[in-house]
């Protein structure tokens, strides 16, 4: 491959990268607008308290990125593993406290995040069959 050919290929790739960067920026911007609009709609409407304590709403409200969101299922898997191999069953309060840490909730904000968030998350995961220890946690509380 000649120097001229390599240079031309690099220029074409740079144009493609620039186009993709613009597209990602546009999509990110639209997602942010939709998130803000959705939060506004949810907060201004008379809706079920279940919606306001749904983990997806909380994650959206806290503006967690994908890596931070992935900590929630890892946390649940850790609890399940500890139960399976060590017989540990944490209290609902312990689960809630750790969940709030994962969500990045400051100490002074914790009163805005009721234990119902954790209860609802555990109930949902238990119903799907992927979190059997959830029953034990809820029975313990």
pLDDT in tens, 87-111: 999 999 999 999 999 999 999 999 9
pTM value is: 0.72
Q: Kindly state the tokens that stand for 94.
A: 């312990």
Tokens 């931070």 sit at which residue? 68
C-alpha span between 134 and 7 (Å, rounded) = 59
Average of per-residue pLDDT values in the chain:
89
Count of CB atoms within 10 A of residue 95's CB?
25
Cβ atoms within 10 Å, residue 7: 10
The DSSP string of 46-66 is: ---HHHHT-HHHHHHHHT--H
Q: Do residues 122 and 138 touch, judged by C-beta distance below 8 A?
A: yes
Tokens of 97: 């406290």
pLDDT at position 83:
95
Q: What is the pLDDT of residue 44?
A: 77
The dihedral sign for the CA sequence 75, 118, 130, 136: positive
Tens-digit pLDDT profile for residues 33-48: 888 888 888 777 766 7
- Burial call 55-80: b when 16+ CB within 10 Å, e when fewer: bebbbbbeebeeeebebbeebbeebb
CA distance 28 to 33: 9
Tens of pLDDT, residue by residue over 115-134, are: 999 999 999 999 998 899 99
Indicate whether 2 pLDDT > 80: no
Q: What is the pLDDT of residue 1?
A: 63
């Amino acid at each position: 491959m000649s120097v001229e050919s390599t240079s031309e290929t690099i220029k074409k790739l740079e144009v493609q990268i620039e186009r993709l960067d613009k597209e990602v920026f546009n999509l990110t911007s639209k997602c942010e607008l939709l998130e803000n609009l959705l939060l506004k709609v949810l907060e201004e409407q008379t809706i079920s308290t279940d919606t306001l304590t749904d983990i997806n709403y909380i994650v959206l409200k806290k503006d967690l990125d994908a890596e931070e969101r992935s900590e929630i299922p890892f946390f649940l898997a850790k609890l399940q593993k500890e139960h399976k191999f060590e017989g540990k069953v944490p209290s609902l309060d312990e689960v809630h406290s750790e969940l709030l840490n994962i969500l990045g909730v400051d100490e002074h904000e914790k009163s805005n995040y009721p234990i119902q968030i954790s209860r609802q998350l555990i109930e949902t995961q238990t119903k799907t069959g992927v979190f059997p220890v959830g029953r034990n946690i809820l029975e313990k509380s």
